[in-house]
């Protein structure tokens, strides 16, 4: 009898926990659409060292844990500091079940306000090219016509979570960018000089996104942007003096 009552209490707790998570996720998806939120609390959350993700005994563990971020570009020039401030932490997951619990409550890219981005990166890697894991890497960027971003984004992240790129630890994360005239998806990797790896990523991207053979795909090393940022910073400092 006692075991039966304990099992009932455990089930009730689980139900309330699931309801709480669902309400929190739904609340966030509404906030994303409305562009509201407390920047100070969000920036503070980004600095906190989060504990390891707990995986339930009946959950299917992913090869890597992931963190999802959201950002919206500010009006005017986008400085590195402004970009970092605009990054908003959404949540983390380490299993198939945790991913779907998060993903199913999010707005789709086509529902976002233009100039918005979703960033899905492996735990411990920030969606910034200054991050240690990204500095020697780069990204493949694919420009999409309006109307195809939802399908392409879902196919891309499922391929990434399912390790379809077959390049070991090279994949850092993926980004979807919603703009007025067109949209874009990107895949970031660790080593821009490894042409065999970048070539495999390109072909996998073309396959999972079901892209026509004439689709333009652009690869950009992050170190070029770093050099440009350093030169720009030095020149601006010289002008201020």
List the CATH number of the domain containing 96. Answer: 3.30.760.10
62 vs 230, residue with greater confidence: 62
Least confident of 25-34, 124-133, 153-162, 221-230: 25-34
Whether the predicted pLDDT of 33 surpasses 90: no
pLDDT on residue 209: 97
**Does residue 92 contact residue 64 with C-beta atoms inside 8 Å?**
no
Predicted local confidence at residue 23, as pLDDT? 35
Dihedral class, residue 114 (left if φ above 0, else alpha if ψ from -120 to 50, else beta): beta
Task: Report helix, strand or coil for 141.
Answer: strand
Contact 139, 117 (CB under 8 A): no
Tell me the pLDDT of the chain averaged across its residues: 80
pLDDT above 50 for 17: no
Q: What is the per-residue pLDDT for 52?
A: 87
| 208 or 7, higher pLDDT | 208
Q: Is the per-residue pLDDT at 7 higher than 60?
A: no
**pLDDT for residue 94:** 98
> What is the tens place of the pLDDT at every residue in 101-158?
999 999 999 999 999 999 999 999 999 988 999 999 999 999 999 999 999 999 999 9
CA atoms within 13 A on the CB side of 47: 8
**Residue percentage of the chain with pLDDT more than 70:** 70
Q: CA-to-CA distance for 144 and 109, rounded, in angstroms?
A: 12
Predicted local distance difference test score (pLDDT) of residue 182: 94
Residue 12 has pLDDT above 80, yes or no: no
Over range 7-13, report the average pLDDT: 40
The predicted model gives 51-57 an average pLDDT of: 91
The number of folded domains in the chain is: 1
Q: Give pLDDT, residue 107.
A: 96
**Domain carrying residue 161:** 2-240
Q: Per residue, what are the HEC states of 107-131?
A: CCHHHCCCCEEEEEEECCCCCCCCC
Q: Kindly state the DSSP code that residue 74 receives in the 8-state scheme.
A: P
């Amino acid at each position: 009898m006692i075991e039966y009552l304990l099992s009932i209490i455990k089930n009730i707790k689980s139900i309330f926990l699931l309801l709480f998570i669902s309400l929190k996720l739904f609340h966030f998806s509404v906030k994303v659409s409305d562009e509201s939120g407390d920047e100070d609390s969000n920036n503070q959350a980004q600095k906190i060292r989060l504990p390891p993700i707990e995986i339930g005994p009946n959950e299917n563990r992913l090869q890597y844990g992931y963190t999802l971020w959201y950002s919206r570009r500010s009006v005017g020039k986008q400085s590195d500091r402004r970009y970092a401030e605009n990054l908003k932490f959404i949540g983390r997951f380490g299993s198939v079940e945790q991913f779907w619990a998060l993903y199913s409550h999010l707005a789709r890219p086509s529902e976002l306000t233009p100039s918005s981005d979703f960033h899905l990166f492996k735990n411990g890697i920030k969606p910034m090219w200054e991050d240690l894991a990204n500095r020697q890497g780069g990204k493949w960027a694919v420009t999409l016509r309006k109307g195809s971003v939802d399908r392409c984004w879902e196919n891309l992240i499922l391929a990434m979570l399912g390790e379809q790129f077959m390049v070991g630890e090279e994949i850092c994360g993926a980004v979807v960018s919603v703009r007025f005239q067109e949209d874009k998806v990107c895949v970031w990797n660790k080593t821009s000089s490894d042409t065999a790896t970048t070539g495999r990523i390109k072909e996998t991207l073309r396959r999972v996104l079901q892209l026509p053979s004439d689709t333009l795909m652009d690869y950009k090393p992050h170190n070029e942007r770093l050099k440009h940022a350093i030169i720009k910073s030095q020149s601006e400092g010289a002008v201020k003096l």
